[in-house]
Amino acid sequence: MRWSNYFIPTLREDPADAEVISHKLLLRAGVIRQLSAGIYSLLPLGQRIALKVMQILREEMNAIGGQEFYLPALHPAEIWQESGRWDAIGDEMFRLKDRKNTDMCLGMTHEEVFTAIARNEIRSYKQLPQVWYQIQIKFRDEARPKSGLIRVRSFIMKDAYTFDVDRAGLDKSFMDQREAYKKIFTRCGIKFLIVEASSGAMGGSESDEFMARTPAGEDLIVSCPSCGYAANLEKATSRLTAMPDEAGLPAPEEFPTPGVRTIEDLVTFPGGAEASRQIKSLVYIATIGGDPRPVLVLMRGDHQLHETKLGDALGSTAVRPAHPEEIRELLGASAGSLGGVGAKDKARAAKMDLRIIADSSLKGRRNMTTGANKDDHHIRGVEIERDIPVDSWHELRIVESGEGCPRCDGGVLEVFKGMEIGHIFKLGTKYSDSMGATVLTQDGKQVPIVMGSYGIGVERIISAAVEQRHDEDGIIWPQSLAPFDVVVTITNMKQDDLRQTGEKLYSDLERAGLDVLLDDRDERAGVKFKDADLIGIPYRITIGKKVAEGVVELYDRRAKQSEDVKITDVVDRVQALALAGS
RNA sequence: CGGGGCGUGGCUCAGCCUGGUAGAGCGCACGGUUCGGGACCGUGAGGUCGGAGGUUCGAAUCCUCUCGCCCCGACCA
């Protein structure tokens, strides 16, 4: 392409609306423009980059037997009603009605459509396994779109679905996808890690998230540098050093604590206890099976509760802290004086059924201090398993950096931010059951198809690449995603020898199969250099004064170094570099 | 949805507090001088000051409502 009439609207200054690096640079480099909140247009450079990503996705999906489909983005409500998600999903789904007043929606994912195809067409185990995928637009009415392309309402996704006769088949399909994903992100030049994640409302038994480490990410990742353990904070656990407790008292003992409202208060109160020797007691209202139920959550005094973990542990669709009035009604005290001892009796007296759930770090603890369910009073000498009727134990606390790795000895956990760039799920039979997709097995039994689903966001890959690969001058694309392999910069268009050399190299490089951008604009060299750095083309051939000696410069965007190369050698050099680079 | 911020030529912003009829830099067009890291000089085009209503002799400026965008939080198949 010739830059002089190619549309690359670069910006000299950071746009006011952009906060994160990738957003600023993608706008400044003329890759994207915003249409509305969370809605972006890909400009010619952006489309070239997206096409390169999609090509990689296709190649790796095809390599594991994937078959490319193209499904509609407009769906009838009917199939979503069948799967149960028409009601399960809230405002995040774009819903509309057609002229006949039939409910429709814009697809936010395609389990339903693919399952609908499978149930109509697949009858026998002999037709399995199937690996189906598409690269297509998705619509999600995000509560808060943000950070440029990182969280948007309309985006391109590669989504794949596998169909197997049994669990073992799914395990293999899942591993195939997992390996393909590793190759994809590696080819895209993104540093990533795979973390255990909560499946959430997607359903299914197991899911892995692919995360790109970047401060612009929205998730917190816990990882162990020693053994490679990695998990989303909502799923992560840690190993805590055991706390030696003295035997304490033969029975718990109540004592007055006037004015003590918080864990901190009790630490400094004479006769109080340090935070790690206190039991923090929180009342939550959890919706379980559609009914709100009070739950008393017990945590170590210096630990924080992770609400998602609480919800997962309870099998609850929603949890919220109880209001002060609800707490008083239930336990007869204010939030600063609650405890597990005698709590069930108090609740029963108030005609309520209280469930007690405790963080596993409290297991076996003795001589603890906690609230007495009586304002301005606490209880000491509590031996939790002796004195409190805990219904169940779970990992509920927020893991913090510096804690011990749960998988290996001696590993120390780090916590950092990451961006989700891919997510793979073992769905099992959630959709095949609800939508009736079955096959006959070899022995003539009708069984639900076992499914998996696997997604990668194209714009997320682009954002992650920019987040991880940039410097103060602009983007540094990996060769695999770069909109052009090389830019030929003619430093002065008024000099015929420079122009002719540039033109010749341009056509020679294109003939060699490279994507070439010829900067033939009537601009000063400095402007061209700045723009080339900004848009991040991996190599630049600078056509300057040394042409008289038969030499041009080859500039490496990433290394920011240039070397003189004979004009006769430069095509071979760039070709070799482009093949080798990523 | 809760909290905060911002809407003024294409872009980045000033002007608003204290009302008097709109400015700068960049970009753009033309002419000239320049020509290897975002040149310089001159001339010029370009703005219903997000929108509606109100107060006032007079509103970018004050008041009310509304729309949009950004950030934090909640949420996130």
Q: What is the pLDDT of residues A64-98, one digit of tens each?
A: 999 999 999 999 999 999 999 999 898 999 999 99
Note the CA–C1' distance, A470 to B50, in angstroms.
Answer: 35
Q: Which of A279, A460, A284, A461 minimizes the C-alpha distance to A371?
A: A279
Note the CA–C1' distance, A77 to B57, in angstroms.
Answer: 61
Predicted confidence at residue A200, as pLDDT, reads: 59
C-beta neighbour count of A186 within 10 angstroms: 14
Q: How far apart are CA A36 and CA A360, in angstroms?
A: 46
Protein chain A, residues 240-299, with a C-beta closer than 7 Å to any atom of nucleic acid strand B: none
A499 touches strand B (CB under 7 A): no
A497 touches strand B (CB under 7 A): no
Average the pLDDT over A444-472 and give the result.
97
- From the alpha carbon of A531, which nucleotide's C1' atom is closest? B38
Q: Is residue A275 a contact partner of residue A267, using CB atoms and an 8 Å limit? A: yes
**pLDDT-based confidence at A325, cuts 50/70/90?**
confident
Predicted confidence at residue A245, as pLDDT, reads: 85
Q: Is residue A502 a contact partner of residue A510, using CB atoms and an 8 Å limit? A: no
A92-123 pLDDT, tens digit per residue, is 999 999 999 999 999 999 999 999 999 999 99
Predicted confidence at residue A196, as pLDDT, reads: 85
Note the CA–C1' distance, A9 to B45, in angstroms.
Answer: 21
Average the pLDDT over A357-381 and give the result.
94
Residue A18 carries which DSSP code?
A: -
Terminal CA-to-CA distance of chain A, rounded, Å?
22
What mean pLDDT value characterizes chain A? 94
A184-234 pLDDT, tens digit per residue, is 999 999 999 999 887 655 556 688 999 999 999 999 999 999 999 999 998
Could you give the strand order of the β-sheet that contains A561-566, starting from the edge strand earlier in sequence? A516-519, A486-490, A539-543, A551-556, A561-566
Predicted confidence at residue A582, as pLDDT, reads: 52
Protein chain A, residues 37-56, with a C-beta closer than 7 Å to any atom of nucleic acid strand B: 37-38
- A515's tokens: 């994507």
- Structural domains in chain A, CATH included, are 17-236+416-466 (3.30.930.10), 253-394 (3.90.960.10), 484-580 (3.40.50.800)
Q: Which of A276, A399, A257 minimizes the C-alpha distance to A338?
A: A257
C-beta neighbour count of A370 within 10 angstroms: 28
Q: Is residue A194 a contact partner of residue A208, using CB atoms and an 8 Å limit? A: yes
- A360's tokens: 């596993």
Note the CA–C1' distance, A31 to B70, in angstroms.
Answer: 20
A384-433 pLDDT, tens digit per residue, is 999 999 999 999 999 999 999 999 999 999 999 999 999 999 999 999 99
State whether residue A230 is helix, strand or coil: strand
A202 touches strand B (CB under 7 A): yes
Note the CA–C1' distance, A140 to B2, in angstroms.
Answer: 22
- A295's tokens: 């739950």
Which strand B nucleotides have any atom less than 7 A from protein CB atoms? 1-2, 6, 11-13, 25-27, 34-39, 68-77
Where are the extended beta strands (E) located within A257-376? 279-288, 291-300, 318-321, 355-359, 368-371
Note the CA–C1' distance, A16 to B20, in angstroms.
Answer: 32
**pLDDT-based confidence at A242, cuts 50/70/90?**
confident
Q: How far apart are CA A369 and CA A362, in angstroms?
A: 12
Interior angle at CA A303, CA A300 and CA A304, nearest 5: 125
Q: Which residues contact A388 (CB under 8 A, 6 or more apart)?
A: A298, A340, A341, A343, A356, A358, A382
- Kind plus residue range of the DSSP H or E element containing A50: helix A44-63
Note the CA–C1' distance, A528 to B18, in angstroms.
Answer: 48
